[in-house]
Amino acid sequence: GAVVSQHPSWVICKSGTSVKIECRSLDFQATTMFWYRQFPKQSLMLMATSNEGSKATYEQGVEKDKFLINHASLTLSTLTVTSAHPEDSSFYICSVWRTYNEQFFGPGTRLTVL
Partner 1 sequence: SQQGEEDPQALSIQEGENATMNCSYKTSINNLQWYRQNSGRGLVHLILIRSNEREKHSGRLRVTLDTSKKSSSLLITASRAADTASYFCATEEGAQKLVFGQGTRLTINP
Interface with partner 1 by CB under 8 A: which residues? 4, 6, 32, 34, 41-46, 49, 91, 93, 95, 97, 101-108, 110
CB nearer partner 1, residue 18 or residue 29: 29
CB nearer partner 1, residue 82 or residue 112: 112
State the amino acid at position 33 in one-letter form: M
CA-angle at 61, arms to 55 and 64, nearest 5°: 30
Q: How many CB atoms lie within 10 A of CB 1?
A: 8
CB nearer partner 1, residue 32 or residue 70: 32
Distance, CA of 103 to CA of 95 (rounded, Å): 7
Question: In the 8-state DSSP scheme, what is residue 52?
Answer: T
